[in-house]
Copies of this chain bind each other. A is one copy, B any other.
Amino acid sequence: MALIVKKFGGTSVADKERIFNVARIIVDDYKMGNDIITVVSAQGDTTDDLIMKAKEINDGDISKREMDMLLTAGEQISISLLAMAIEKLGCPVISLLGWQAGFTTDSNHGIARIKNINTERIKSELAKKNIIIVAGFQGINKYDDLTTLGRGGSDTSAVAIAAAFHAKRCQIYTDVDGVYTADPRKVRGAQKLSEITYDEMLELATLGAQVLNNRSVEMAKKYNVELEVLSSLEKKVGTIVRENVKMEKMLIRGVTSDKDVATISVVGLKDSPGIAFKMFNKLAQFKINVDMILQSVGRNGTKDITFTVSRSQADIAIESIESLKSVFNYSEISKDVSVTKLSIVGAGMESHPGVAAKMFEALYDSNINIRMISTSEIKISVLIDEKQTEKAVQAVHDAFLA
C-alpha cells in the first residue's frame, strides 16, 4: 500500500544465488501490495574489471566520457539479470537504465550531479503494476551522453528516486544489519542503533563508518527522505535515519576511528600577518582537504602550524607549501602518517557539557596521548597514535555505551 524504494549494492547481486535472494526480498514486499522501485549497482567486481580493461587499452588520460560509456554497461547487465529472476518468480517487472528512468545530470563525467528526474516513464510502469528495476550510478546529460555519479552513486540514485516519488521509505540493503555504535567486529559491546539523525549519520559516514555514502545522506536530509540501513541476508529491522529521533538515554551514537589521516607540521614560520590564511589558501588551490588545524607559538617568536589531510594528499600538500618556501619562510616541514582520528558522534552532546571531559578521561585512564582536538556541535574528534587505535576505541565506547 506504499511506495518503497530499495537499493542493493554490487555484492548483493554478484551471482545467481544472490540475485534470486534479492528478487525474493522484492517479490515479498510487492506481494504485500506495495509499489517497488529498486535501484541496483553493477555486479560484484564488474566496475573494477571494466576499469582494468580500459587501463589496459590506455594507461594515460582516458576520456571521461568514454569511461562513463564503458562503466554504465555494468548496471545494464545487473538490472536485466535481476528483472529476469523476478520474471522467473512470476511477477511483472521492467528494468530501466538511468536515462530511461529519467535521470538527467550535468556533464561532469565520472562525478555528475543529478539535475532532474523526469518521472513519466516510472509512473506509467507503476500504473501497469510493474516492479521497477533501475540502474543506479548513471544518468544522461543534455547532449544525450551517458554519465556516472561517482563513488556511492547508486545510494544517491536511490535517495533521488525516493525524493522524486515521495516514497514512504528508502531502504539501503548492505552486508551489515544496521548502523552500530562502533565496528562490532572490533569493539566489545557495540550496539545496533534503532534510529539516528541525518547529521549523526553524516558525521559517522565522514569518519569512516562505511555504511552510507555522504552525498546520499545529505540529499536524504535535504528532501526529508526516511532511510533504512538493513541487511540483504537476514530478514530483520535495520537502522532508521531521519530528522527527528526519539531521545534515548545514549548521549552519543557512536565511536569511530579513521586511519586515513596524516599530519603535516610546518615549524618555525616567521610570524607575518595572514601567513596561515595564505598557506591554507594555497592548499585549497591544490584541492587539498584540510581537516584539523593546530597553531602554536614556537621559539624566537616564530609559529608552528600542524594540520591533517588524508594520507594520499600528504606529499602533494608538502610540495605545494615547499613551492612557496620563500613566502612562508619556515625552517622545517614534515609529515607523520602513523596517526588515527578517533571520534564520538551524538546530537545529544550539545546540551551535555561533560561529554568532552568524559572522553578525555577515558583516554587518559588508558594512557593514550591526545595530539590534536577538534569539535563540532555533534562530534568530538581527537588525534592519537595509530598503534593505540583499538584500545582507544574500546575505552571510549566502554565509557559511554557499555
Chain A residues with CB under 8 Å of chain B are 16, 19-20, 50, 53-54, 56-58, 60, 62-63, 65-67, 69-70, 72-74, 76-77, 79-81, 83-85, 87-88, 94-95, 97, 100, 121, 144-146
Contacts and interface: CB of A to CB of B under 8 A. Distances in A.
Contacts of A57: 16, 19-20, 81, 84-85, 88
Contacts of A63: 83-84, 87
A63 to B, nearest CB: 6
B62 A100 contact: no
Contacts of A19: 57
Contacts of A88: 57-58, 60
A58 B85 CA distance: 6
The number of times this chain is found in the oligomer is 2
Contact of A56 (B16, B69, B146): B16
B95 A69 contact: yes
A189 to B, nearest CB: 42
Given A57-B88, A84-B58, A87-B62, A77 B95 contact: no
A76 B84 contact: no
A54 B87 CA distance: 12
A58 B77 contact: no
A67 B77 CA distance: 10
B87 A66 contact: yes
A11 to B, nearest CB: 17
A83 B64 CA distance: 12
Contact of A54 (B67, B74, B81, B94): B81
16 contacts: A16-B57, A19-B57, A20-B57, A53-B77, A53-B81, A54-B80, A58-B88, A60-B88, A62-B87, A63-B84, A66-B84, A67-B80, A69-B79, A69-B97, A70-B77, A70-B80
